[in-house]
Amino acid sequence: MTTTQAAAAALATAGRTRTSPRRRAQVSRGVQYGALLVVVVVVAATADWGRVGAAFADPAAVRAIAPLLPRAALNTVIYTVAAFAVGLGLGLVLALMTLSGVRVWRVLATAYVEFFRGIPALLVVLAFGYAIPTAFEVRFDSVVLQIALALGLVSAAYIAETLRAGIQAVPRGQVEAARSLGMSPTATMLRVVVPQAFRIVLPPLTNEVVLLLKDTSLVFALGLATSDYELTKVGRNALSDPDGGLTSIVAVGLVYLVLTIPLSTLTRRLERTTGHRGHV
């Protein structure tokens, strides 16, 4: 019997069965939908909906916190932008140091990145909020600067890694082509590598902004003037209000989502569009 005949014979006996892989996948999907339906029905029947409504959407709490939210949201955005500016500037320097031919730069940059990625950001915020002013008798005139430095120093470590990966993702041939045309290392970096690396790092960089925006919540640990409150601090204070409670937290959370969801959507769209453009 030839190989072809043998294969045909085997399929003739076992080729059609109700337990084929495709049938099994179909059954599995049905079971999963069924399980979900059961959970939803049970929760809906047993929950105390009046109480849930009061906790999540208490009108008094909404009235109390709503006026504070615009200012708090603006502060959150300001802290994010300022910290990102510090993080991006310092991150680019660190990335170039990591890629430098000079060993000392590489070692210093690596140490920095490892240090700040290895400790909680809250610790750095506390250092800038209390420890550094006390130890060195400095006073930060601007809260924005204080926060931008604290969070910027941390995010620089992450941004540096993102930028380094982006620069390294630009094919070596691009550098060789530029150098073979007589372009200097600097011109090659600025005119050929960085523009292409930028395209590669745009999605992860946008994602970094989202993380940073959420990390501005850490400044709730600082003693701030009311006008400097950001979203989490407002939510935290509302908790000690008689009208506050879960509703305040929900309200603050919703404002965060209004800010982060567009950024996440942008990240995904950038990932799609830049993914399509191959590098030649």
Partner 1 sequence: MTTTTAGTSAADAPAASTAPVVAISGLHKSFGPRHVLRGIDLEVAAGEVVCVIGPSGSGKSTLLRCVNLLEQPTEGTVHVLGAEVTDPDVDIDLVRTHVGMVFQQFNLFGHLSVLENCTLAQRTVLRRSRAEAEEVARRNLALVGLADRAGSTPGQLSGGQQQRVAIARALSMDPALMLFDEPTSALDPELVGDVLTVMRDLAEAGMTMVVVTHEMAFAREVADRVVFMDEGVVVEQGTPDQVIGAPAHERTRSFLARVLDPTHRHPAAG
Q: Which residues bind partner 1 (CB under 8 A)?
A: 171, 173-174, 176-184, 187, 191-192, 195-196, 199, 277-280
CB of 198: closest distance to partner 1 in angstroms? Answer: 9
CB 220 within 8 A of CB 249: no
CB of 185: closest distance to partner 1 in angstroms? Answer: 9
**Residue (34 or 278) nearer to partner 1, CB:** 278
CB of 109: closest distance to partner 1 in angstroms? Answer: 25
**Residue (110 or 174) nearer to partner 1, CB:** 174
Residue corresponding to tokens 């955005």: 77
Nearest to 223 by CA among 213, 242, 236: 236
**Residue (260 or 274) nearer to partner 1, CB:** 274
CB of 107: closest distance to partner 1 in angstroms? Answer: 23
CB of 182: closest distance to partner 1 in angstroms? Answer: 4
**Residue (52 or 190) nearer to partner 1, CB:** 190
**Residue (179 or 214) nearer to partner 1, CB:** 179
CB of 271: closest distance to partner 1 in angstroms? Answer: 17
**Residue (129 or 203) nearer to partner 1, CB:** 203
Q: 235 vs 86, 143, 175, 228, CA distance in Å? A: 27, 19, 51, 14
Question: Helices 194-215 and 246-276: crossing angle, nearest 10°?
Answer: 170
**Residue (51 or 172) nearer to partner 1, CB:** 172
CB of 275: closest distance to partner 1 in angstroms? Answer: 13
